[in-house]
Chains A and B, each alone.
Chain A
């Protein structure tokens, strides 16, 4: 598991951790059943607060991506690839919904938004992968 924290972003630390673990589960580099470091070990390794790592794990638990067993630690949940794909699709939908809401507020029409989306898609923009 790789986690790289940046101080040069407005994204909260817990969100950075959750996002990076989520991406590694989605990409398959963290397989289902794989153990995650304990909350306190991860806090130590990253030199951050225990509460911050706890919050990141809780976020992932809520999403159903990891399971925590008292006394045993946290593991990547046993989710099927089809389910993972569905989750990712839902997330894309959510992000698009937000973009639609914002563009409506700005008075952007559908054509304009689709045009913008086409440009972004052509440019191959993915900041995380």
Chain B
């Protein structure tokens, strides 16, 4: 059995003005991977390729060791998908909706589903149309967990969720990967507490994969440098991924922490960046391509 839950090879996809180009990516089995990037980076396009909801123009996709789309049905049965917009029938009750969804999954467990409804404080008789955005998300999550998928994919799962439930979701996901076999992929364009538990971070920007690495390695490699404006000469400027300048100083991201410490120790503050810092400065620094 493959070590990878998802394998993308040189996947390209054009959709209107958007282009996803040459994405090669492995998502490791048994771990939680966060797919991050600003709006329009291609996160949803990538997820659609994985789910077989759209086919790549070029490249190959393998999920759970099987080729997509050749074995789409089998793959889909083993995936739990939680989307930002839930594809529910407004006029049905939660119970009615579950009755429609359940037959698609061989491993649907009604008891597990009930347990999640209780845990999420959802009433089986409540009409879908009466549910808030957060409650719909909870229902999506309950359905996804109730057929015990090997791979859980969540597209912007924290949208509409309050902080209390977001933290509960962390526990649910940690429980889910306890058996070292199951895999979680989630996408997000904002920094949330979800990233705390991510083992790997895949960073997409303008349709290209910037990196997919253990989160700790990423946070160790980059450095956030802060200092007065007089330190910024052309040489220094060139060493940064992105810079934010003001009248009183600058903040910049370096992709080489050791070099930054060597260069700036004593002159500037060199800190550990957050993923949001990395995302922000990479997006900001983009047009400055030095030959």
Contact A40/B32 with A12-B216, A49-B215 known, Cβ cut-off 8 Å:
no
B196 interface neighbour in A10, A14, A47, A51, Cβ under 8 Å = A47
A57 to B170, CA, bound (A): 22
A60 contacts the other chain (CB 8 A): no
Is the Cβ of B216 less than 8 Å from the Cβ of A49?
Answer: yes
Q: Which residues of chain B come closer than 8 Å to A88, judged between CB atoms?
A: none
- Which of A10, A43, A49, A51 neighbours the largest number of chain B CB atoms within 10 Å of its CB? A49
> 0/1 per residue, B271-289, Cβ < 8 Å to A?
1100000000000000000
Is the Cβ of A41 less than 8 Å from the Cβ of B215?
Answer: no
B177 contacts the other chain (CB 8 A): yes
- Cβ distance B212 to chain A, nearest Cβ, rounded Å: 13
- Cβ distance B1 to chain A, nearest Cβ, rounded Å: 18
- Cβ distance B171 to chain A, nearest Cβ, rounded Å: 7
Contact A12/B220 with A44-B178, A47-B174, A49-B198 known, Cβ cut-off 8 Å:
yes
Question: Which residues of chain A from 1 to 44 have a CB within 8 Å of any chain B CB?
Answer: 10, 12-14, 40-41, 43-44
A2 to B84, CA, bound (A): 38
A49 to B171, CA, bound (A): 12
Is the Cβ of B271 less than 8 Å from the Cβ of A10?
Answer: yes
B235 contacts the other chain (CB 8 A): no
A40 interface neighbour in B171, B180, B215, Cβ under 8 Å = B180
- Cβ distance A55 to chain B, nearest Cβ, rounded Å: 7
Q: Which residues of chain B come closer than 8 Å to A44, judged between CB atoms?
A: 171, 174-175, 178
Nearest A residue to B174 by beta-carbon distance? A44
- Cβ distance A12 to chain B, nearest Cβ, rounded Å: 7
Is the Cβ of B215 less than 8 Å from the Cβ of A51?
Answer: yes
A68 contacts the other chain (CB 8 A): no
Q: Which residues of chain B come closer than 8 Å to A48, judged between CB atoms?
A: 196-197
Nearest B residue to A55 by beta-carbon distance? B216
- Cβ distance A74 to chain B, nearest Cβ, rounded Å: 15
A50 to B215, CA, bound (A): 10
> 0/1 per residue, A42-82, Cβ < 8 Å to B?
01100111111001000000000000000000000000000
- Which of B174, B178, B214, B220 neighbours the largest number of chain A CB atoms within 10 Å of its CB? B174
B31 contacts the other chain (CB 8 A): yes
Q: Which residues of chain B come closer than 8 Å to A43, judged between CB atoms?
A: 174, 197
Q: Which residues of chain B come closer than 8 Å to A50, judged between CB atoms?
A: 31-32, 177, 199
- Cβ distance B32 to chain A, nearest Cβ, rounded Å: 7
Is the Cβ of B174 less than 8 Å from the Cβ of A10?
Answer: no
Q: Which residues of chain A come closer than 8 Å to B32, judged between CB atoms?
A: 49-50
Is the Cβ of B199 less than 8 Å from the Cβ of A51?
Answer: yes
Q: Which residues of chain B come closer than 8 Å to A13, judged between CB atoms?
A: 216
B216 interface neighbour in A14, A41, A47, Cβ under 8 Å = A14
A6 to B123, CA, bound (A): 38
Is the Cβ of A47 less than 8 Å from the Cβ of B170?
Answer: yes
Is the Cβ of A40 less than 8 Å from the Cβ of B177?
Answer: yes
Contact A51/B174 with A10-B271, A12-B220, A43-B197 known, Cβ cut-off 8 Å:
no
Is the Cβ of A51 less than 8 Å from the Cβ of B31?
Answer: yes
Question: Which residues of chain B from 23 to 39 have a CB within 8 Å of any chain A CB?
Answer: 31-32
Nearest A residue to B171 by beta-carbon distance? A44
Nearest A residue to B173 by beta-carbon distance? A44
> 0/1 per residue, B57-82, Cβ < 8 Å to A?
00000000000000000000000000
The 4 closest A-B pairs by CB, nearest first: A44-B174, A49-B199, A51-B199, A51-B214
A–B Cβ pairs within 8 angstroms, 8 of them: A10-B271, A40-B174, A44-B174, A47-B167, A47-B196, A49-B216, A50-B32, A51-B199
Instruction: A10-B271, A13-B216, A44-B171 are known; give 12 further A-B pairs, CB within 8 A.
Output: A10-B272, A40-B174, A40-B178, A41-B178, A44-B174, A47-B171, A48-B197, A49-B197, A49-B198, A49-B199, A50-B177, A51-B199
